[in-house]
Amino acid sequence: NKIEEDLKYRTKVGEKLLFIIDKCEDTDKASLTGLLFKSFLEKKIDYDQFITGTNIIEKTPLPDLMFFIENDVEELELDNGGSEFVSYGLMEIRVTKPNIKVGDEKYYGDKYIPSDNEILADRLEITDFEIVASISWIGQILRENLCKE
């Protein structure tokens, strides 16, 4: 175990943990940080995942964080809470592959000459296109290590 063997590394990790816990705004967030540190010590996550996770714990409002951890939400519409989880780093934006059909050119008459962009917009039909918030890699790690099933 690197923490046991390397004094310099152990000091770095210990100081970082104290700094992180000191920044926690309440005991619940400190407790979550402790659970994540336990996962790091048990080698379920690496140091970078621990640091990234603690940053998210720090910046996410506790009610939102607890909702995310305790509920098995894999995808959300952006206007249904997904955008907040994206801003915290718990979710990321995913775009589904659209179905694009190009139609025939339209006749606009003799008096109006549309721009190339207008012509293209009139010819394109885009369907089956969604933008959703999906759980991020760090969101999955936090849920796996902090959920008290």
- What digits encode the pLDDT tens for the residues 104-126? 777 777 777 778 888 778 878 88
Report the range of poorest mean pLDDT among 17-26, 87-96, 139-148.
17-26
pLDDT value for 17: 74
Average pLDDT of the segment spanning 24-36 = 86
Annotated domain spans of the chain = 1-59, 73-137
Tokens of 109: 């008459």
With cut-offs at 50, 70 and 90, classify the pLDDT of residue 47.
confident
With cut-offs at 50, 70 and 90, classify the pLDDT of residue 81.
low
Strand pairing category for 91-95 and 75-77: unpaired
Mean pLDDT of the chain: 84
Identify the top-confidence range among 16-30, 60-74, 76-90, 101-115: 60-74
- Is-contact 122 106, C-beta < 8 A? yes
Tokens of 17: 């943990």
Position with higher pLDDT, 105 vs 44 = 44
Average pLDDT of the segment spanning 20-41 = 84
- Is-contact 133 95, C-beta < 8 A? no
pLDDT value for 122: 80
pLDDT value for 57: 94
- For residue 124, list its beta bridge partners: 102
